[in-house]
Amino acid sequence: MATVRFTPHLRMHLDCPDTNAAGETVAEVLQHVFRDRPKLAGYLLDDQGAVRKHVTIFVNNETVRDRQRLTDPVGPHDEVFVFQALSGG
């Protein structure tokens, strides 16, 4: 199973500890995580299932390319890292 990690900033606002999740694509891995944490889905994905503009997802230090359908492959020993882009001044 892939390891899914979230930034400390996201963990401050949502219940999203690092976890292991099964799946062959980013979408499948995230759906596994969302089963236990449904609020997280609405925060990370829009109503069409695409990654929100303020969220970035990496698989093994590479930015996810398919932000609409999340079809990027994920292997059983991969790390999926999710973080929220911060802005302000």
32-86 confidence digits (pLDDT tens)? 999 999 999 999 999 999 999 999 999 999 999 999 999 999 999 999 999 987 6
Q: Could you tell me if residue 22 is inside a domain?
A: yes
Task: Flag whether pLDDT at 9 surpasses 90.
Answer: no
- End-to-end Cα, the chain, rounded Å: 39
Q: Could you tell me if residue 14 is inside a domain?
A: yes
Task: Flag whether pLDDT at 89 surpasses 80.
Answer: no
Residue type (1 letter), 62 = E
- pLDDT at residue number 58: 98
- pLDDT at residue number 87: 63
CATH number at residue 79: 3.10.20.30
Q: Could you tell me whether strands 62-63 and 55-59 are parallel, antiparallel, or unpaired per DSSP bridges?
A: antiparallel
Task: Flag whether pLDDT at 18 surpasses 90.
Answer: yes
- pLDDT at residue number 88: 59
Q: Could you tell me if residue 37 is inside a domain?
A: yes
Q: How many structural domains are present in the chain?
A: 1
Q: Could you tell me if residue 89 is inside a domain?
A: no
Residue numbers of the domain that contains 65: 2-84
